[in-house]
Amino acid sequence: MCFEAPKTTRVPQNNLPLQGAGKHPPKSGFLYNLKWTDMKEIQHNKGIGGRKPKADPSTHRYVFRLNDQENARFLALFEASGLDTKAKFIVAVLFAREIRAVKIDAAAMDYYMRLTTLYGQFRSVGVNYNQVVKILYRNFSEKKAAAYLFKLEKQTAELAYLCKQIMDLTDEFEVKYLKK
């Protein structure tokens, strides 16, 4: 077996297949004949989306630091204000805009929760009352059932009086503490 070396021939420089590699393409054609203003107009007419610029954007920024105690007070005031962001809160405080402080009265919340629980228990007593009346008439004679129902009516009258007192206390509580 015999190997022959390939023949090398010289190719003229202007006939290379990658002539002009790494250089910019010639400046001719549709895109190169347009001016920069024409390109901006094409983009504008194309309807490129995005957020509309603000009329008066906030461009000035200030930074300040707080210690732990000041930060806790700042956060408490911010939460009480009910504003969405801390930046809006700071601007409102600096420029004396009206700041709404929402105070949650723990006593009122506790009273409301206990009243809700009591109302639920009151409803369950009413359901149990109906069940007891049905069971009395089913399991006992009419005379014995009537005797038990008399005792049940006395307890029901006491419960109705208690309910009236609860309603009066609730009205008094609303007048004194909730409606300011």
Say whether both 129 and 151 belong to one domain: yes
Residues 24, 17: Cα–Cα separation, whole Å: 16
Picking from 115, 114, 118, 116, the residue whose alpha carbon sits closest to that of residue 126 is 118
Q: Which of 79, 103, 127 is the endpoint of a domain? A: 103
User: What percent of the chain has a predicted confidence (pLDDT) above 90?
Assistant: 3
Assigned domain for 26 exists: no
Assigned domain for 75 exists: yes
Q: Which distant-in-sequence residues (6+ apart) come within 8 Å of 125 by Cβ?
A: 159
Which residue type does 142 have? E
pTM to 2 decimal places: 0.38
Say whether both 117 and 144 belong to one domain: yes
Contact between residue 67 and residue 76 where contact means Cβ atoms under 8 Å apart: no
pLDDT for position 69: 92
Say whether both 88 and 135 belong to one domain: no
Question: What range does the domain containing 163 cover?
Answer: 106-178
Say whether both 89 and 147 belong to one domain: no
Say whether both 133 and 174 belong to one domain: yes
Assigned domain for 19 exists: no
Q: How many domains does the chain have?
A: 2
Q: Which residues of the chain have pLDDT under 70?
A: 1-49, 97-102, 179-180
